[in-house]
Amino acid sequence: MAILDKIRRKTTILILIIGLALFAFVISGIFSTNAFSGAKVGSSVAEVNGDEISIDGFREQVEIASKSYGANASSMQVVNNVYEQNVRNAILDQQFEKLGIVVEQDQIVNFLRTNPTYSQLPQFLNENGVFDENKFISFIADLKLNNPAGYQQWLQEEQSIIRAAKEQIYFNLIRAGVGTTLKEGELDYKLANDKFDISYVRVPYASILDSTVAVSKSEIESYVKAHAEDFKLEDSRDIQFVYFEEKASLSDEKEVEEKITALLGDTQMFNEAKDTTETVRGFRNTLDNIAFLDVNSDTKFDTIYKPKSSLSPKVADTLVKMNIGQIYGPYRDGNTFKVSKLTGKRAGGNVKASHILIAFAGATSAGEEVTRTKEEAESKAKEVLAEAKKSGAVFADLAKENSDGPSGPRGGDLGFFQEGAMVKPFNDFVFNNGTGAIGLVETDFGFHIVKVEEKQDLYQVANLVREVEPSEETIDLLFQDATKFEMSTLENSAKFEEVAKQDNYVVRPVNKLNPMDENLPGLGSQRAIVQWAFNSDSEIGDVKRFDLNDGYAVVRLTAKYAKGLMTSEDASPVVLPILRKQKKAAMIIEKNKGKSFDAFAKDNNVSAATASAISVKTPTIAGAGREPAVAGTAYVLAEGKTSGLIEGESGVYMVTVTKKTPATKLENYSTFANTLKASNSTRVNTSVYQALKAASEIEDNRSMFY
């Protein structure tokens, strides 16, 4: 921290010196007027310690980020990610400004040199493959002259580099102040390695019934006020809704089943051009499954042969017993009706095999460490083959010991594969031999000791599929029901649950909605509903129907919560168990004041227990769980001494230290001090930022725009 104080005192001088150095740095537009100026236009999406984040610039960033994320994130996830990054940037920028942190040529070049993203780009490397500063500067100059579009992209990238360099400087300054003494290292070592055994008596809190411990509303309120940071309440809303799901009716399902059934048999159709009646083959008799399914099925013909395990579990047992050309169905499978036809079968078409590869110098894919000749490899392969064929031999162990192939560590297992997946000699052996066969095969990779582990039959199935979808009539009726329910509750929203009950609709509550919530339980992503709930015009009791992708939701706003502290009712589920435990501890301690170890056990009808090899860093007590307060008390007691009453996590304790085993003394504790320092240093970036954020005044206006 002394370094930071000096920086603050010397800010003006530092800015002048760094400014002069930067003046000479003429690569790209780093200090040109084209660079980001931080100007704010229009309304702000947030305000961080008085500095506004422009909604205009924010929207541009969201648009760019959306293209980057693609379908991997929802629109609100993108907005939230961009928001968090902007808040972080604003908070850190304020720190950079206070400390006068800027970057100069050497710092940026050093950053690029140590960052693989840039330092390994071919255009920046010299003939020795090392990052060349001059090549980098020349590249940017050429970009500016000959590729204006590329140069503009570079300017944006440049801002990211500058920011990253500033963050590196800032966090390194703080990290430089993180130190650990040898004494701290010694203490950390002792807390982990000083062991002690105890005998203990525990009176569990569960021995007192909750119903006998009264906790008042005022006590809960006092606790909430005393721990205000833990019970902050943001603006939130409660809603309830009835979901009218757009799904097929029983008559819709029956209609689909009838239509798919009608496609099975042959039909007669009059051909006007030929003035004759022709037979149109149905699915059962068609000679061209591909063409038939292209016209009549919602899915195409999957010609791939598959093992039984890959077929639908609902019908797999039936399908594999059918004859070629036989059909099964119609049957319901998820949201479809299906008719399945067995169109092909390959006995033993899926093979699981293992192998041991003995490679030789010059063989395909042989590593540099393989030096044996082809003759030596063949000789060794024959020796391993003989071992593999012996009774009781474990093929997987032989593969781990001898195989040069990548499958060696997993016992030579190659998994299942179909014909043609392996090179021909290997392929011919496994498909021409039965399960359990072991033999020697030569390929370009070397000599293989091959074992056929398992064979499966493969099946080709043509599926005639029709999705079950709601008809127009069903959709119209659903709209009418949703509208009728909405109108009935608009007249008197207090009747929301009553009307729903009369019509057998399920009312679902959603409590404590936050302004930036997106997903609602049972409805999925419904940002419009959240925005409505937080609209200043929406009042408690208001009802509105929302059109969803798969139906309608009629929503009622039931409660509004302003920013502040939780009420005693809302905090009760968290606070009540805490206060009860505190009161139980006080009751047990008051009842047992001044008692000896044996009297404490006898009077409470509990037995003493023992626990061994406890340390402060591993404060788990056998039969009781994690008890840091108990372990800490025992740590400072001398061997043979007994503690007073201790308020623990699961009960009130009294402990006697029966044995102490100090950690072995070391000549030097620098290793532990360095480890502790490294651990603290790795947390600097995250911990410092979180502390800065917690101390900042942040006004979040996202819900006004999204």
Question: Do 377 and 505 have their domain in common?
Answer: no
Residue 702 is assigned to a structural domain of this protein: no
**Percent of the chain's residues with pLDDT above 90:** 73
Same domain, 297 and 364: yes
Give the residue, 19 or 485, on which the prediction is more confident. 485
pLDDT digits (tens, 9 = 90+) for 67-102: 888 878 888 999 999 999 999 999 999 999 999 998
pLDDT number for residue 428: 94
Question: Looking at the predicted structure, is the pLDDT value of residue 13 above 50?
Answer: no
Both structure tokens of 4: 């930071």
Question: Average of pLDDT values for 625-650?
Answer: 96
CA angle 71, 76, 78 (to 5 degrees): 60
pLDDT in tens, 571-614: 999 999 999 999 999 999 999 999 999 999 999 999 999 999 99
Identify whether 12 is part of a domain.
no
pLDDT exceeds 90 at position 164: no
Residues 319 and 432 in one domain: yes
* Mean pLDDT on 393-403: 94
Asked if residue 519 and residue 423 are part of one domain, the reply reads no
Last residue of a domain, one of 562, 591, 624: 562
Res 465: pLDDT: 96
Residue 338 lies in a domain: yes
Threshold 0.75, pTM exceeds: no
- The pLDDT assigned to 534 comes to 94
Q: What is the CATH number of the domain that holds 82?
A: 1.10.4030
**For residue range 96-152, what is the model confidence (pLDDT) as tens digits?**
999 999 887 777 788 888 888 778 888 888 888 888 888 888 888 888 888 888 888
Rounded distance, CA 26 to CA 108, Å?
A: 12
Question: Would you state the pLDDT for residue 135?
Answer: 85
436 with 486, same domain?
A: no
pLDDT of residue 3: 36
Q: How would DSSP label each residue in 98-147?
A: HHT----HHHHHHHHHH-HHHHT-GGGB-TTS-B-HHHHHHHHHHHHHH-
Q: 471-526, pLDDT tens digit by residue?
A: 999 999 999 999 999 999 987 777 899 999 999 999 999 999 999 999 999 999 99
pLDDT digits over 436-483, tens only?
Answer: 999 999 999 999 999 999 999 999 999 999 999 999 999 999 999 999
Q: Which of 14-23, 77-86, 368-377 has the lowest mean pLDDT?
A: 14-23
Whether 190 is in a domain gets the answer: no
Distance CA(597)–CA(394), nearest Å, equals: 60
What is the residue-wise DSSP string for 561-588?
Answer: E-SEEPPHHHHHHHHHHHHHHHHHHHHH
pLDDT of the residue at 494: 78
Confidence of residue 38 (pLDDT cuts 50, 70, 90): very low
Tell whether 653 and 618 lie within a shared domain.
Answer: yes
**120 or 389, greater pLDDT:** 389
What's the total number of domains in the chain? 4
For position 464, which CATH number holds? 3.10.50.40
Give the range of the structural domain holding residue 77, as residue numbers without chain letter. 46-177
Q: Which of 528, 562, 596 is the last residue of a domain?
A: 562
Of 431, 453, 469, which residue is a domain's last?
A: 469
- 60-69 pLDDT, tens per residue? 999 988 988 8
Query: Could you tell me if 526 and 607 lie in one domain?
Result: no
Domain shared by 290 and 400, yes or no? yes
- Whether residue 256 sits in one domain with residue 122: no
Determine what percent of the chain is predicted with pLDDT higher than 70: 94
Task: Give the range among 35-44, 421-430, 501-510, 671-680 with minimum mean pLDDT.
Answer: 35-44
Q: What is the pLDDT, as a whole number, of residue 2?
A: 37
Q: How high is the mean pLDDT of the chain? A: 89
pLDDT of residue 37: 33
Res 510: pLDDT: 95
Q: What is the mean pLDDT of residues 634-654?
A: 96
Q: Which residue has the tokens 């093979």?
A: 351
CATH of residue 632's domain is 3.10.50
CA–CA separation, 608 and 626 (whole Å): 18
For residues 690 and 88, give the distance between their C-alpha atoms in angstroms, rounded to a whole number: 9
The predicted model gives 350-354 an average pLDDT of: 95
Q: E strands along 496-643, which residues? A: 507-513, 519-520, 524-525, 543-548, 551-561, 564-565, 609-614, 620-621, 625-626
Q: Is residue 277 part of a domain?
A: yes
Same domain, 322 and 446: yes
As given in the structure block, the two tokens for residue 103 are 């970057």
Question: Looking at the domain assignment, is residue 26 inside a domain?
Answer: no
Q: Tell me how far CA of residue 543 lies from CA of 245, 476, 553, in angstroms.
A: 18, 21, 10
- Are residues 206 and 339 both part of a single domain? no
| Model pLDDT, residue 367 | 85
The answer as to whether 395 is a domain residue is yes
Say whether the peptide bond before residue 148 is cis (omega within 30 degrees of 0).
Answer: no
444 and 314 belong to one structural domain: yes
Kindly state the average pLDDT of the residues 628-641: 96
In a domain, 706, yes or no: no
DSSP state of 353: E
In angstroms, the CA 518 to CA 703 distance is 11
> CB neighbours of 527 closer than 8 A, spacing ≥ 6?
75, 76, 518, 706
Banded model confidence at residue 24, pLDDT cuts 50, 70, 90: very low
Please state, in angstroms and rounded to a whole number, the distance separating the CA atoms of residues 330 and 636: 77
Structure tokens at 242: 């009835």
pLDDT at site 7 = 36
Q: Write down the pLDDT at residue 514.
A: 92
Query: φ, ψ for residue 593 (rounded to 5)?
Result: -60, 135
pLDDT tens digits, one per residue of 202-243 = 999 999 999 999 999 999 999 999 999 899 888 999 999 999
